[in-house]
Amino acid sequence: MADTLGAFEQAVLLSVIRLGEDAYGRAILKEVQTRLGRDVAAGAVHATLERLADKGLVASRLGTGTPMRGGRARRFYRVQAKGVRALNDARATAESLWSGLRWPLKGYL
Amino acid sequence: MSMTAHPPRWAEALLRSFLKPGDFESVSGDLLEHYRDSIYPARGQLCADFWYATQVFTFVSPGVRFFALLFSAQFLTRTALDWFLPPADFHFRSIVSTVVGIGTLAAAGSWAAWRSGSFAIGAIAGSLTAGIASITSIAGAAILFAFWHDPQTRTAIRCSGGFEEVVTLPLITILPGALLGAFGGAASAALKRLLAVPNSNNHPQA
């Protein structure tokens, strides 16, 4: 069975997939903020990426630096097969939970 | 956009202490890029430096937070015992809580130094643990007092050193926290070298 993902982990993994070859720390942070529509701490995204890497859901490689970054390298992330399976499972679970219900929910209060 | 703007050196040093050695370059590069590209041009030096410092604190490792909560829980337990179950003699309680507190701060430093391989980071972790715990301990004691301030409890508080002690004691542990963290860190870093354990960098490579 694939790993169970939290909502924030899904947001980070999907951002990595959307960004493709450009998925590095700052770009992922901006993508997550845009998709969630709120400010997100850089440390939260870093901790999540670290956790996902520990679980083998993402892998990373160091790229080159730029003058804007003071020459410091970017770390690029890529979702692994295990990460794709976890996302598919998360989507299937959500769809199963919602099946038969109309969205947005109305009249249940 | 400013290619020469630079965040405070102390904040970068602190960031280095929070991260695994292999992560500092990429993470500090991300923050510097955002600082120069977006924050500094829009908000100016002072606000940009404040933004950078707040971002650095979001990297405080979960381990430091765990030890801070543990230290704070110990302090609040002792406070609650003194207020609600006051002893005739505080000597035994003082010894136990001091030993447990020393152990917690040394363990925080030891843990951080083991992770990073540097005893200096143990000192920072020890003082941060005590610093974060100070805030939660004082807030916790204030909540206790807000709910229980009957005459009997007020007498017990006075006999146990007064509310001033509850407020000042956590704050004065910050400096000893650094020393104990350094002590624990030195022991841990030495043990790590002795066992020749490499520093961790858990990112699998793509």
3-state SS track over A3-43: CCCCHHHHHHHHHHHHHHHHCEHHHHHHHHHHHHCCCCCHH
Q: Which residue of A has its CA nearest to B18?
A: A43
Put simply, whether B66 touches A (Cβ < 8 Å) is no
pLDDT of res. A2: 67
- In terms of residues, how long is chain B? 206
- What is the distance in angstroms between the Cα of A7 and the nearest Cα belonging to chain B? 19
Put simply, whether B12 touches A (Cβ < 8 Å) is no
Q: Which residue of A has its CA nearest to B63?
A: A47
Structure tokens at A71: 């020459």
pLDDT of res. A36: 96
B36–A68 C-beta distance less than 8 A: yes
pLDDT of res. B70: 96
- In terms of residues, how long is chain A? 109
Sorting pLDDT into bands at 50, 70 and 90, what band is B117? low
Sorting pLDDT into bands at 50, 70 and 90, what band is B199? low
Range B80-84, long-range pairs (CB < 8 A, 24+ positions) = B80/B144, B82/B156, B82/B157, B82/B160, B82/B161, B83/B144, B83/B148, B83/B153, B83/B156, B83/B157, B83/B160, B84/B148, B84/B153, B84/B156
Q: Which of B160, B166, B168 is nearest to B142 (CA)?
A: B166
Put simply, whether A61 touches B (Cβ < 8 Å) is yes
Q: Does B24 have pLDDT greater than 50?
A: yes
Q: Does B62 have pLDDT greater than 90?
A: no
Q: Does residue A53 contact residue A65 with C-beta atoms inside 8 Å? A: no
> How does the average pLDDT of chain B come out, rounded?
88
Cα(A90)–Cα(A87) distance, integer angstroms = 5
φ, ψ (nearest 5 deg) of residue B178: -65, -40
pLDDT: which is higher, B159 or B17: B159
Compute mean pLDDT per 10 residues along chain A, 109 residues long, and list them: 87 98 96 95 93 96 92 96 97 94 81
Q: What is the pLDDT of residues B66-100, one digit of tens each?
A: 999 999 999 999 999 999 999 888 899 999 999 99
Structure tokens at A77: 């992330």
Cα(B35)–Cα(B51) distance, integer angstroms = 8
| Whole-number CA gyration radius for chain B | 21
- What is the distance in angstroms between the Cα of A85 and the nearest Cα belonging to chain B? 17
A47–B33 C-beta distance less than 8 A: no
Count of A-B CB contacts under 8 Å: 85
Percentage of chain B modeled with pLDDT above 70: 93
Cα(B157)–Cα(B82) distance, integer angstroms = 7
Q: From residue A1, how far is each of A4, A82, A83, A86, B74 by CA, in Å? A: 9, 10, 12, 9, 40
Cα(A51)–Cα(B61) distance, integer angstroms = 12
B32–A69 C-beta distance less than 8 A: yes
